[in-house]
Amino acid sequence: MSDLKVFRYKTTTMQRIQRNITKGYIWYTSGIVASHRALKLVEKFETLYLTNLNKNQRNYRKFQGKCNTRLYMYPDPDSKNFRWWLLATDGKGQVHELEKLQLVYDQKYKLQWNDDYEIVRVSKAGKSGEVITWRMTKKCRDAWYRRIQSAIRSKSDDEMKQTMWSLHRVPGFSEVRETVKKLKTYTEKEWKRSRRSKTKCTHITQFIPYVRHPDARDYLLSLLVKRMNLGLPPFPRNDIETPRIKKMTLEAENV
């Protein structure tokens, strides 16, 4: 039976997608699949597009002028669905014939992570050529400006603290970090204007973590599907799960 490794963390999945784009996987299609159909979709893509090949097999196909493909999935928050991204390289292959593929950085059809992040090509000082990275979508940026403004005007320290905590947990890709810096500058100005005080907002953290070596822990898709069918969160949480939930997880693994 076909299966797929799913990274535990969103940032890790985003980094792997980004990394493969830099290696030539510049075509994509994406979508949402219900958890009970996810394994069938994996099997379909393996059969049609050979998404499960190893490194040597991929190199041989490239040598033959054929395309290679990769599939990534991640649980959609607060639902029993998975988001999926099918990537492909240039070359001959059924994926180019059967799927409506788009360039990952096409101006109209950029590869996106939900409505929050999108793949872009940007020029960086001191680097030759363009860099592939993630940035916040306009919708996401606007939502952050509204959230910060609302938190400041609420005059609630708890809400402000939670907002800044969330802001500093966004994936630290280079263009995302640039947006966070602008949001922090906006926060400082809006704080002074709204509070009419010289006191600085103490909830702003100066450090924005980079994405370097994110946690590469992964789980089989089949286990995540079983957990979701039991009404459990997709990924195991050994630090907080009760003995009853741990027992249910063990039973799911052995089904």
pLDDT at 244: 60
Residues 122 and 165 in one domain: no
Find the domain containing 167 and state its range: 133-216
| Whether the Cβ atoms of residue 18 and residue 134 lie closer than 8 Å to each other | yes
Residues 51 and 106 in one domain: yes
Residues 73 and 121 in one domain: yes
For 5-27, letters b (16+ CB in 10 Å) and e give ebbbbbbbbbbbbbebbeeebbb
Residues 150 and 170 in one domain: yes
| Whether the Cβ atoms of residue 122 and residue 175 lie closer than 8 Å to each other | yes
pLDDT at 212: 77
Residues 148 and 118 in one domain: no
pLDDT at 249: 58
Q: Among 132, 148, 163, where does a domain finish?
A: 132
pLDDT at 129: 77
- When the pLDDT of each residue in the chain is averaged and rounded to a whole number, the result is 90
pLDDT tens per residue across span 221-255:
999 999 999 999 999 886 555 566 556 656 555 55
**Residue entry with tokens 């898709």:** 221
- Give the global pTM: 0.89
| Whether the Cβ atoms of residue 104 and residue 17 lie closer than 8 Å to each other | no
**Number of neighbours of residue 156 by Cβ within 10 angstroms:** 13
pLDDT tens per residue across span 43-84:
999 999 999 999 999 999 999 999 999 999 999 998 999 999
Residues 206 and 242 in one domain: no
pLDDT tens per residue across span 190-211:
988 887 666 777 778 767 778 7
Q: Average the pLDDT over 11-36 and give the result.
A: 97
Residues 212 and 223 in one domain: no
Residues 13 and 125 in one domain: yes
Alpha-carbon gap, residue 30 to 78, rounded angstroms: 19
pLDDT tens per residue across span 143-191:
999 999 999 998 888 999 999 999 999 999 999 999 999 999 999 999 8
Residues 66 and 25 in one domain: yes
Residues 160 and 44 in one domain: no
Residues 121 and 201 in one domain: no
pLDDT at 23: 96
Q: Among 132, 156, 172, where does a domain finish?
A: 132
pLDDT at 192: 87
| Whether the Cβ atoms of residue 45 and residue 30 lie closer than 8 Å to each other | no
Domains in the chain, number = 3
Alpha-carbon gap, residue 61 to 25, rounded angstroms: 14
pLDDT at 245: 58
Residues 164 and 122 in one domain: no
Full 3-state SS string of 111-122: CEECCCEEEEEE
pLDDT band with cut points at 50, 70 and 90 for residue 98: very high
Q: Among 91, 116, 132, where does a domain finish?
A: 132
Q: Where are the beta strands (DSSP E) in the chain?
A: 5-7, 27-34, 69-75, 81-88, 102-103, 112-113, 117-123, 130-136, 218-220
